[in-house]
Amino acid sequence: MPTITSAGGETAAEFAPEANMVCASLRHRGAELLDLGRGLQAYAQQGKTMGIPLLYPWANRLAEPAYAAAGRSVTLPEAAGRYSLDPNGLPIHGALPEALRWRAEADGDRIVARLAWEGDDLLALFPYAHELAYEASVACGELTVTITLRATGSDEVPVAFGFHPYLTLPGSRRQEWRVSLGATQRLLLDERMIPTGAREPLAPRELVLGDQSWDDGLDGLAAPPRFSVAALGIGLELTFLEGFGFAQVYAPPGHDYICFEPMTAPTNALRSGDGLTVVAPGAEHRAGFRLRVLA
């Protein structure tokens, strides 16, 4: 896996271009800041998320294996070998990572990669001609990631991707973690975790995580949206720089990680149209975030 390293060597990030450019490790002063889950193979082949994965072409769930967006109606093929299903049998997190193989070049503190969305298997999931450019760089205690979608064909392209950073604080447990959320609204969900379209005020926005369980979509983001977790003199802050209008917070009980997920659209946007951006032919959508160590 290509590795990029900050000047001075204090911060290093590893990426897997043949598994959808997942950031498979982020270390600062030798300490791992990401939860690595079941490992890279389980992520690539089964979609068992870890590290900082890109969820593409849709983030989180679709209410059915079909959608209509940007003038096209799509019925997904069978899931086996193509995408994952959640416990309710709903399509989740887009194409399996091993199907998304990027061309990447790393140099010092920066990596750039490209992916052309082509081929029958990918177009069966998302039949819109486009290409993606991925850029990541590290500085001391910082990782910045930007992805640019460019519509290369004659059709419009809907934008419904996101990232899923699994953040952990070395040497501490979630019972001690202080969390700050850069949003003002919570999306109301049905029993299948699909947004109903309604919102409610988000409270509290600062809390101790403890044994709470979170899997919540958020709207009404701050300017700029900042999400943080801290304990025992160390913290991590994730800032949405551009192009992400929604967030998801995921922190299941029994795990020492929390995910602040930058989302270009809410869950199920390819079906609902809620908050869905559509890129015109020849145009681009650029989205980025920065993860920073708080000393």
Order of strands across the sheet that contains 259-263: 54-55, 162-163, 259-263, 246-251, 214-221, 183-189, 195-201
Single out the residue of 36, 33, 39 nearest to residue 51, CA to CA: 36
Q: Which domains does the chain have, with CATH numbers?
A: 3-294 (2.70.98.10)
From first to last of the 295 residues of the chain, give the pLDDT tens digit.
999 999 999 999 999 999 999 999 999 999 999 999 999 999 999 999 999 999 999 999 999 999 999 999 999 999 999 999 999 999 999 999 999 999 999 999 999 999 999 999 999 999 999 999 999 999 999 999 999 999 999 999 999 999 999 999 999 999 999 999 999 999 999 999 999 999 999 999 999 999 999 999 999 999 999 999 999 889 999 999 999 999 999 999 999 999 999 999 999 999 999 999 999 999 999 999 999 999 7
**pTM as predicted:** 0.96
Q: Are 45 and 98 in contact (CB under 8 A)?
A: yes
Report how far apart, in Å, the C-alpha atoms of 220 and of each of 184, 187, 201, 214, 292 are: 5, 10, 9, 18, 22
How far CA 187 is from CA of 2, 62, 129, 215, in Å, comes to: 38, 15, 31, 11
**Which pLDDT score is estimated for 240?**
98
**β-strand partners of 104:** 113
Instruction: Write out the H or E segment, with its range, that includes residue 32.
Output: strand 31-32
Q: How far apart are CA 5 and CA 28, in angstroms?
A: 10
What pLDDT score does 233 carry? 85
Query: Using CA of residue 284, residue 181, residue 216, residue 28, what is the dihedral sign?
Result: positive
Output the pLDDT for position 119.
Answer: 95
